[in-house]
């Protein structure tokens, strides 16, 4: 965490103080905010490498703050949730968070997760991919980290792009949940199949015409997913169905 800048957004003074000590001791620069509005302001002014965001805050939930962050930045976000509230964890990922931890948490685990999401973000920036994919409807430009549908740019988060890239690079091959977690999230996330389901759902809403009958990302029940390349472009007048499908 040396020279990395971390933004902590939390209304709990004790939690802020504890997390500030954790990251300072790890060599990071730390910026704090007591609510979402202040957090968004400091995101603009300080441009952190990582955001640690609490779910429960006055004046707007952490989920709404995360959605606002995602409109303006791809900075990695880890959300802190109450112990045992699994729906909060799923909602956090759905809002665009890269990871979540339940309170109380081990400081070493928080640091390990922080390093992992930052590492993934940097790999997204630096990785060289293979030949671009273009079937006339879906285009993936690996060098520019861009995805276009019918020549219109589609905004993907770094993890969404990394997942799509990994699936396309292995087109026609069934990738298990373990394969996907290892290559997209890291070894620390083995067993966290919900990450895969949620982000596949995000991708389908953005690239598939009908999420209930996907052409690109195909489910292999109980095993994982595979990417199917398309030879012919879809009809340009058809619209993408926005209904979710896991």
Of the listed ranges 170-174, 176-180, 185-189, the least confidently predicted one is: 185-189
- For residue 103, the cross-strand partners are 82
CB of 119 closer than 8 Å to CB of 97: no
Residues 117, 158 share a domain: no
Quick: pLDDT tens for 3-51. 899 999 999 999 999 999 999 999 999 999 999 999 999 999 999 999 9
Beta strands in the chain (DSSP E): 5-9, 29-33, 50-54, 77-82, 99-103, 133-134, 138-141, 146-149, 152-154, 175-176, 217-220, 224-227
Q: Are residue 187 and residue 204 in the same domain, yes or no?
A: yes
Instruction: Tell me whether residue 180 is in a domain.
Output: yes
Structural domain of residue 197, as residue ranges? Answer: 133-227
Chosen domain end from 89, 104, 126: 126
Question: Does the global pTM surpass 0.85?
Answer: no
> Is residue 84 pLDDT above 70, yes or no?
no
Residue range 89-144, pLDDT digits in tens:
667 777 888 888 888 889 999 999 999 889 887 776 555 556 789 999 999 998 88
Q: Is residue 215 part of a domain?
A: yes
Higher-confidence residue of 218 and 99: namely: 218
Asked if residue 115 and residue 140 are part of one domain, the reply reads no
Mean pLDDT, residues 188-212:
90
- 98: Cα within 13 Å, side-chain hemisphere: 32
H or E stretch at 10? none
How far apart, in whole angstroms, are the C-alpha atoms of residue 36 and residue 135? 41
Q: What is the CATH number of the domain that holds 34?
A: 3.40.50.2300
Counting the structural domains of the chain, the total is 2
Flag whether 71 is in a domain.
yes
Question: Is residue 233 in a domain?
Answer: no
């Amino acid at each position: 965490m040396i020279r990395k800048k971390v933004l902590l957004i939390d209304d709990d003074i004790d939690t802020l103080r504890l997390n500030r000590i954790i990251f300072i001791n790890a060599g990071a620069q730390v910026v704090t905010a007591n609510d979402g509005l202040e957090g968004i302001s400091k995101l603009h002014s300080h441009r952190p490498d990582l955001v640690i965001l609490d779910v429960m805050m006055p004046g707007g939930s952490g989920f709404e703050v995360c959605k606002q962050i995602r409109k303006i930045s791809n900075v990695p976000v880890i959300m802190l949730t109450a112990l045992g509230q699994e729906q909060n964890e799923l909602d956090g990922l759905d809002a665009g968070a890269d990871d979540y931890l339940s309170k109380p948490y081990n400081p070493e685990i928080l640091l390990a997760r922080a390093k992992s999401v930052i590492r993934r973000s940097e790999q997204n920036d630096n990785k060289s991919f293979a030949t671009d994919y273009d079937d006339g409807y879906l285009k993936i430009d690996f060098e520019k980290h861009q995805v276009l549908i019918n020549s219109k740019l589609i905004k993907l988060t770094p993890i969404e792009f990394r997942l799509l890239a990994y699936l396309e690079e292995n087109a026609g091959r069934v990738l298990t949940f373990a394969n996907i977690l290892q290559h997209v999230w890291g070894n620390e996330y083995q067993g966290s199949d919900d990450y895969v389901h949620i982000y596949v759902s995000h991708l389908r809403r953005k690239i598939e015409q009908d999420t209930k009958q996907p052409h690109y990302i195909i489910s292999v029940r109980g095993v994982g997913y595979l990417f199917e390349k398309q030879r012919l472009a879809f009809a340009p007048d058809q619209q993408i169905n926005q209904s979710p499908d896991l």
